[in-house]
């Protein structure tokens, strides 16, 4: 038994998969308790041992979505293929639904200015760059009322539900005049293989997220985003400089800074603060976990209960669901 892998998989099962994916819970517990599997996985390089990556590679290659015993039987025959995929690929996600939590802030900025120029740091495939193309259903006051918000062209194929406090409901879908993103590994969803891999990374039971991903990929294929490959600290300033004159520039990032070292995170924050002094027309929105920007989360002064902190120019404004499912004003 490899104890480190065993505890990695047990922890994943108990902290992340429990109540979220029964399949991944059973698979991870199964691996954690079996000497041979833990030893196989231990031969992968450190970052490649992640349960999420090993399971996604297995599913991508056709592992049956059943019991751990079935998975084990399948892995016995396909382990070399799984290793190849695990070594070639890495985990990535892109969640259009985060737009529902960004919209209350974006709509206010859009009201005050001519139009928005969006610069997304850590954009993956760029699905969060299209808040103006989705429909929203904001449920407020303990579920009694719903506000429906559609883009000017009418109801979108992607409808994003979000629980919200009544005061924060956005008045309209803002106008986006320009959009661009930067990512270490930009994803092109017009490429079927890249779309399939992103889909494999969505956990088995989360069918609604898979459907949303497919629909969003189709929607943006007609107007693909401008995505630059590179590091956010190095690439964001040039994108801000390219934004059209007169537009209000919004630099934003969701679930990204956790991937940076604390030192690099601090450099990014310092860069954003300096940019705000230099450029009047730039707003910085961060949508990150409590641990990721602790000095901003501390200003919120409340228990986030698993939610993320939405901050504007470094000031927390709301606690939001990690996948845009809720917005609670601070």
Ligand X SMILES: C[S@@+](CC[C@H](N)C(=O)[O-])C[C@H]1O[C@@H](n2cnc3c(N)ncnc32)[C@H](O)[C@@H]1O
Contact with ligand X (CB under 6 A): which of 51, 104, 110, 122? Answer: 122
Torsion sign across C-alpha atoms 88, 259, 55, 221? negative
Taking the C-alpha atoms of residue 129 and residue 36, their distance in angstroms, rounded to an integer, is 44
Antiparallel, parallel or unpaired: β 135-140 and 145-149: antiparallel
- 128 makes contact with ligand X (CB under 6 A): yes
Q: Which is nearer to ligand X, 65 or 229 (CB)?
A: 229
Q: Give residue for tokens 């599997």.
A: 37
Looking at the chain, the number of H-run helices and the number of E-run strands are: 11, 11
Residue 231 found at the interface with ligand X (CB under 6 A): yes
Nearer to ligand X, 49 or 254 (CB): 254
Give the whole-angstrom CA distance, residue 160 versus residue 198. Answer: 19
Is the Cβ of residue 52 or residue 92 nearer to ligand X in the bound state?
92
- Cα dihedral 141, 146, 147, 149 sign: positive
| Given 37, 176, 232, 318, the residue binding ligand X (CB under 6 A) | 232
Binding to ligand X (CB under 6 A) within 32-51 occurs at none
225, 179 Cβ separation under 8 angstroms: yes
- Residue from 111, 172, 205, 259 binding ligand X (CB under 6 A): 259
Nearer to ligand X, 212 or 248 (CB): 212
Contact residues for 8 (Cβ-Cβ < 8 A; gap 6+): 49, 50, 51
For the CB of residue 93, give the shortest distance to ligand X in the complex, in Å: 5
How many CB atoms within 10 Å of residue 319? 23
Q: Find residue 136's DSSP bridge partners.
A: 149, 160
Closer by beta carbon to ligand X, 92 or else 242: 92
Least spacing, CB of residue 100 vs ligand X, in Å: 12
Size of the site for ligand X (CB under 6 A): 20
Among 84, 185, 273, 329, binds ligand X (CB under 6 A): 185
Residue 232, strand partner residues = none
Rounded Cα gap, residues 103 and 51, in angstroms: 33
Query: Does 255 participate in binding ligand X (rule CB under 6 A)?
Result: yes
Span near ligand X by CB under 6 A; candidates 56-64, 91-99, 220-228, 297-305: 91-99
Stretch that binds ligand X, among 27-35, 43-51, 94-102, 277-285 (CB under 6 A): 94-102
Of 183, 286, 307, 316, the one binding ligand X by CB under 6 A: 183
**Is 93 buried (19+), middle (13-18) or exposed (0-12) by CB count in 10 A?**
middle
Instruction: Please state the closest distance from residue 324 (CB atom) to ligand X, in A.
Output: 9
CB 225 within 8 A of CB 258: no
Q: Which of 29, 41, 51, 98 binds ligand X (CB under 6 A)?
A: 98
Q: Footprint of ligand X on this chain (CB under 6 A)? A: 92-95, 98, 122-124, 128, 182-185, 231-232, 254-256, 259-260
């Amino acid at each position: 038994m490899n104890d480190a892998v065993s505890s990695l998989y047990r922890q994943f099962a108990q902290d992340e998969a429990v109540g979220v994916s029964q399949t991944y819970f059973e698979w991870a517990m199964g691996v954690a308790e079996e000497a041979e599997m833990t030893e196989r996985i231990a031969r992968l390089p450190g970052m490649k041992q992640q349960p999420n990556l090993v399971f996604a590679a297995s599913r991508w290659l056709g592992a049956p979505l059943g019991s751990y015993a079935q998975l084990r039987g399948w892995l016995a025959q396909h382990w070399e293929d799984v290793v190849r995929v695990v070594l070639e690929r890495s985990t990535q996600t892109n969640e259009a639904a985060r737009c529902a939590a960004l919209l209350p802030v974006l709509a206010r900025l859009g009201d005050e200015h001519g139009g928005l120029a969006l610069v997304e740091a850590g954009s993956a495939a760029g699905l969060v760059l299209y808040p103006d193309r989705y429909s929203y259903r904001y449920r407020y006051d303990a579920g009694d009322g719903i506000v429906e918000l559609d883009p000017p062209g009418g109801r979108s194929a992607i409808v994003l539900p979000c629980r919200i406090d009544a005061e924060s409901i956005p008045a309209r879908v803002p106008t986006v005049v320009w959009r661009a993103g930067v990512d270490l590994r930009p994803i092109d969803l017009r490429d079927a293989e890249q779309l399939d891999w992103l889909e494999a990374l969505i956990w088995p039971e989360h069918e609604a997220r898979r459907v949303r991903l497919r629909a969003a990929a189709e929607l943006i294929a007609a107007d693909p985003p401008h995505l630059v490959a590179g590091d956010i600290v190095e690439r964001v300033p040039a994108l801000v400089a390219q934004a059209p004159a007169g537009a209000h520039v919004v630099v934003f990032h969701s679930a990204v800074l956790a991937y940076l070292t604390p030192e690099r995170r601090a450099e990014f924050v310092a860069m954003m603060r300096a940019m705000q002094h230099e450029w009047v027309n730039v707003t910085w929105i961060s949508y990150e976990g409590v641990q990721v920007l602790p000095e901003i989360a501390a200003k919120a002064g409340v228990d986030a209960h698993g939610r993320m902190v939405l901050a504007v120019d470094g000031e927390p404004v709301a606690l939001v669901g990690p996948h845009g499912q809720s917005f609670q004003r601070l």
